[in-house]
Structure 1
Amino acid sequence: MTASLTAVWWGGAPAADRVADAHLLAAVDEALAGSGAAAELVCTHVDGSAPAPRVGVSIRLTGEPAGPAATRSALARALAGPAVAGGTHDADVAGPARTALVEAGAGDAGRAVRFPGSASVTGRVPVADLIAATAIEQVVGIGVEPVGTDVVDTGPNGFLRPRFSGGRLTLLVERAAGGVLQPFEIEDPHQCCEGGGH
Structure 2
Amino acid sequence: MTPHTLTVDAGVRELRAADHLLHALAAELALEEGWFGCTHLLRGDRPRVAVSLALPSSSLLRTAQERLTAAGEYEVTSGVPDRFGRAVIYPGVTSLTGTVTIAELLRRSAIDRVTVLGAVSPPDPHTRLVTRDHVRPQWQDDHLVLTTMPAAGATLVPFEVPDPTPCCANH
Is structure 2 residue 151 aligned with structure 1 residue 154? no
The change in CA–CA distance for 1:79 and 1:22 in structure 2 (over 3 A counts) is farther
- Residues 10-69 of structure 1 deviation map (CA, whole Å, 9 limit, x = unaligned): 111123279614421233124313xx8777100011122x22322221101132346936
Distance 1:169 1:10 in 2: 18
- In the TM superposition, what are the counterparts of 1:49-198 in structure 2 within 5 Å? 50-65=44-59, 68=62, 71-76=64-69, 80-86=73-79, 101-103=80-82, 108-144=83-119, 145=121, 146-155=123-132, 158-190=133-165
Q: What letter matches 1:31 in structure 2?
A: E
Question: Alignment RMSD, CA only?
Answer: 2.7
Query: Quick one: which of 23, 28, 39 aligns to 1:26?
Result: 23
- Residues 127-163 of structure 1 deviation map (CA, whole Å, 9 limit, x = unaligned): 11111111111111013441211111002xx210111
Unpaired stretches in structure 2, ≥5 consecutive residues: 166-171
8 Å CA contact 1:14–1:79 kept in 2: the answer is no
Secondary structure in 2 matching 1:189: coil
Aligned residue pairs, count: 162
Misfit runs of 4+, over 6 Å: 36-39
Secondary structure in 1 matching 2:23: helix
Offset at residue 79 of structure 1 (A): 8.3
Distance 2:129 2:32 in 1: 31
Give the percent of matched residue pairs that are identical in Structure 1 and Structure 2.
31
The change in CA–CA distance for 1:135 and 1:109 in structure 2 (over 3 A counts) is same
Unpaired stretches in structure 1, ≥5 consecutive residues: 87-100, 191-198
TM-score (norm 2): 0.80
Higher helix share: 1
